[in-house]
Chains A and B, each alone.
Chain A
Amino acid sequence: MSERVTSAASNESPVYLDGKTAYLPSFVDYATGLIDNLFEWFGNLGIFFWQVLRAAITPPYEWRELLNQLDEVGSKSCLLVFAAGASAGVIISLEARYSLTRFGATSLFPASLVYSVIQVMGPIITGLMVSGRVGAGIGAELASMKVTEQIDAIEASAINPYRILAAPRIVACILMLPLLTLVADASGLLMGWFAQTMVEPLSFYQFIESGFKGSSLHSFLPQTLKSSVYGLIIGLIACYEGMRTRGGAEGVGRAATNSVVLGSLFLILSDVVMVKLILVIF
C-alpha cells in the first residue's frame, strides 16, 4: 500500500507518494508562500536596518574602518563611473542631436544634454555601476565571512559585527554616491559636448553657458543628493544578503547575485518615488 501523506501546505488535499505521483502545490499555495517570503524578507531587512542604525550611532565609532570603506567604495569606483558616465553622455548626445534636428530645435541641445545627464542619467548610471561593483563585492565578502564563521568569531570576541562590518560600508555608500554622481555628470557632459563638437563645433564655454542658462542650484542639487538614497539601498541590501548567507559556496554566489539584482531593482523603484517627491517639493 502506498504511503498517505498530508502536506503541511494543504491539509485538504493529501497526496499519495507511491513513487509515481508527485505533489504539485496549488497556485494559491504558491502565491501565498511567495507573499509570506516577501513580508519575511522585508521584515528581517527592517530589523537588520535597525540593528545597524543603533550600532552606527552609538560609540565606539569605527573611523578607521569607515576610511577604508570610503576608499573601497569611492576612489576605487571612480574610473568605472567616469567611463560609464562618459559613454552615457555620448549616447545621449547622439540621440538628442538626432531628435532635436528632426524637430528643428538644435539650439536646445546644450540644455537638453545638461538636464538629461544631471537629472536622470548621471545618478542612475552611477547607482547601477556601484551596485554592480560595490554591491557584489560587499555581498560576496560578507557572505564568505559568514560561511567561514568569521562573523561569528567577531561576535564571540565581544565586537558588534553590525558596528564594524555593516555600518562603515553603508555609511561609505551613502557618502560616496553623490560624489561619484558628480564624476559621472562631469564625464557625461564632457564627452557629450565632445561628441557634439565632432559634428558641429561648439566651444565648451558656450555649451556650459547655454546648458545652464536659467537654472539654479536647486534644479540639480536634489537629483545629485538623491543618490545618497541609492547608496543606502545598495549598502543595506548587500550587507543584509551577505550577513545572513547560508550554504557554502552556493550561498556566497547567491548573496553576491542577490546584492546586485535586488540593489539595482530597488534603486530604480525608489527613483520612481523620489522623482515625484523632488518635483513636488522643489
Chain B
Amino acid sequence: MATTYDIATKHDNILKKGDVPIVAVNKLEKAFGSHKVLNGISFSVNRGKTLAVLGRSGTGKSVLLKLIIGLESSDSGSVCINGQDITGLTIDQMGIIRKKMGFLFQHAALYDSLTVADNVAFPLAHHRRDMSWSKRNDRVRQLLAEVGMEKDLDKMPSDLSGGMQKRVGLARALALDPELLLLDEPTAGLDPISSGEIDDLILKLQRERQMASIVVTHDLHSARTIADRLVLLDQGNVVIEGVFKDLEQSNIAFVKEFLKLS
C-alpha cells in the first residue's frame, strides 16, 4: 500500500484504472459525543457504477459522504479511494485525491459573493492556471449548458431557485472532470417535476461521463431511477445492500416499513 509520502509526490492523475473499487468503506465508525451515527459500516463502489445510500433523516448519510471526501475524520475504520487509505492525510495530500472527486452539497453551498459563472470557474481558476481566460470561459459555458443553466451566467446565487442552485452546484462539481461524484440529497426540497429533472440530468451525466457516483437520498423513487445498487442504513448499521429487487423481496421489517412509507 502506498504511503502518504507517495501520495504527496505522485502526479495529479493518482486514481489509476484497474480492478480496485473506486471507493471502499471498511468498518467505518463515527460518533458525535455520545451519539453514534455510523456503527461499523462497509461497502464498495466500482468504477462507472452508482450506489444510492438510503435511510431515515439523521442516520448519518451526509456524514458518510463527508467521511469519504475527508471533510470529517472517522473514529475507526477506513476509507480507500482507488485502493489508497485516506486516513490521516493532510489537507494538501487530500487535495490531490479530491481533484478527481466532485461533491454536490445538499443546499448546493454556492459562494454567495460570486456569480454563477464565477462559482463554476472557481475550481478551474485554482487548479488549471495554465488554462487561458477564454478557454476557461468556454469550459464554464459548456458545463452550465450541460446542466441547462447557460443563460444565467451573470446571476447571483441568491437570484436562483433551489433547483437552479443545485444545477449550478452540479456544474461546479463536474468542473475538474471527476471520476467519482458524491451527491448529498440532490432532490431534497424540490418539487416532483424538478426532482425528475435532476434525476434525468444525473442519468445523462453518468451515461456521458462514465463516472462512479454515491448518492445519498431518502427519495426511494430517485434512488430507484439513478442507482445500480442501494444500501439502506438504520441506526448506523447497514440493514441491506443490493439491487432494488433485493429490497422489494426482503423480509426485514425495517426494509418493508421503509418501502411502504416511501
Contacts of B109 in A (CB 8 A): 148-150, 152-153
Taken residue by residue from 157 to 185, chain A's Cβ proximity to chain B (1 for < 8 Å, 0 otherwise) reads as 11110101000000000000000000000
Cα-based distance from A160 to B70 in the complex (angstroms) = 13
Of B95, B99, B111, which one neighbours A160 at CB under 8 angstroms? B95
Whether A60 is near chain B, meaning CB under 8 Å from some CB there, is yes
Contact B107 A156 (CB under 8 A): no
Taken residue by residue from 97 to 136, chain B's Cβ proximity to chain A (1 for < 8 Å, 0 otherwise) reads as 1110101010101111000000000110011010000000
Q: How many residues of B contact A (CB 8 A)?
A: 27
Contact B71 A160 (CB under 8 A): no
Whether A95 is near chain B, meaning CB under 8 Å from some CB there, is no
Contact B91 A153 (CB under 8 A): no
Residue of A nearest to B114 (CB): A150
A-facing residues in B60-90 (Cβ within 8 Å): 66, 69, 71
Residue of A nearest to B99 (CB): A158
Of A145, A152, A157, A162, which one neighbours B91 at CB under 8 angstroms? A162
5 A-B pairs with least C-beta separation: A158-B98, A149-B109, A153-B109, A156-B103, A158-B95
Q: How many residues of A contact B (CB 8 A)?
A: 18
Contacts of B257 in A (CB 8 A): none
Cα-based distance from A93 to B95 in the complex (angstroms) = 57
Of B99, B105, B172, which one neighbours A152 at CB under 8 angstroms? B105
Whether A209 is near chain B, meaning CB under 8 Å from some CB there, is no
Residue of B nearest to A164 (CB): B126
Contacts of A157 in B (CB 8 A): 98, 122-123, 126, 172, 175-176
Contacts of B66 in A (CB 8 A): 152
20 A-B contacts, Cβ less than 8 Å apart? A51-B91, A60-B126, A60-B129, A148-B107, A150-B111, A152-B109, A153-B105, A153-B109, A153-B172, A155-B91, A155-B98, A156-B69, A156-B101, A157-B175, A157-B176, A158-B97, A159-B95, A159-B122, A159-B123, A159-B127
Contacts of A162 in B (CB 8 A): 91
Whether B92 is near chain A, meaning CB under 8 Å from some CB there, is yes
Contact A153 B111 (CB under 8 A): yes
Whether B31 is near chain A, meaning CB under 8 Å from some CB there, is no
Whether B202 is near chain A, meaning CB under 8 Å from some CB there, is no
Contacts of A58 in B (CB 8 A): 92
Cα-based distance from A189 to B112 in the complex (angstroms) = 42
Name the residue in B99, B101, B126, B127 with the highest tally of chain A Cβ atoms < 10 Å from its Cβ: B126
Q: Which residues of A approach B to under 8 Å, CB–CB?
A: 51, 58, 60, 145, 148-150, 152-160, 162, 164
Cα-based distance from A60 to B69 in the complex (angstroms) = 22
Cα-based distance from A158 to B15 in the complex (angstroms) = 15
Of A152, A158, A160, which one neighbours B123 at CB under 8 angstroms? A158
Known: A51-B91, A155-B71. 18 other contacts (CB 8 A): A148-B107, A148-B109, A149-B109, A150-B110, A150-B111, A152-B66, A152-B105, A153-B103, A153-B105, A153-B109, A156-B69, A156-B101, A156-B105, A157-B98, A157-B122, A159-B127, A160-B92, A162-B91
Residue of B nearest to A62 (CB): B126
Contacts of B107 in A (CB 8 A): 148-149
Cα-based distance from A251 to B109 in the complex (angstroms) = 18
Contacts of A155 in B (CB 8 A): 71, 91, 98
Contact A148 B112 (CB under 8 A): yes
Chain A nearest Cβ from B72, distance in angstroms? 10
Whether B96 is near chain A, meaning CB under 8 Å from some CB there, is yes
Contacts of B112 in A (CB 8 A): 148, 150
Contacts of B110 in A (CB 8 A): 150, 153
Taken residue by residue from 136 to 180, chain B's Cβ proximity to chain A (1 for < 8 Å, 0 otherwise) reads as 000000000000000000000000000000000000100110000
Cα-based distance from A148 to B112 in the complex (angstroms) = 10
Cα-based distance from A60 to B103 in the complex (angstroms) = 23
Chain A nearest Cβ from B105, distance in angstroms? 5
Contact A149 B105 (CB under 8 A): yes
Contacts of B175 in A (CB 8 A): 157
Chain B nearest Cβ from A141, distance in angstroms? 9
Contact A160 B91 (CB under 8 A): yes
Residue of B nearest to A141 (CB): B113
Chain A nearest Cβ from B82, distance in angstroms? 15
Residue of B nearest to A8 (CB): B34
Contact B111 A156 (CB under 8 A): no
Chain B nearest Cβ from A155, distance in angstroms? 6
Residue of A nearest to B66 (CB): A152
Contacts of B99 in A (CB 8 A): 158
Of A148, A156, A159, which one neighbours B126 at CB under 8 angstroms? A159
Contact B98 A156 (CB under 8 A): yes
Chain B nearest Cβ from A138, distance in angstroms? 14
Cα-based distance from A231 to B111 in the complex (angstroms) = 27
Cα-based distance from A51 to B112 in the complex (angstroms) = 25
Cα-based distance from A39 to B178 in the complex (angstroms) = 42
Contacts of A159 in B (CB 8 A): 95, 122-123, 126-127
Contact A156 B129 (CB under 8 A): no
Residue of A nearest to B105 (CB): A149
Cα-based distance from A149 to B157 in the complex (angstroms) = 14
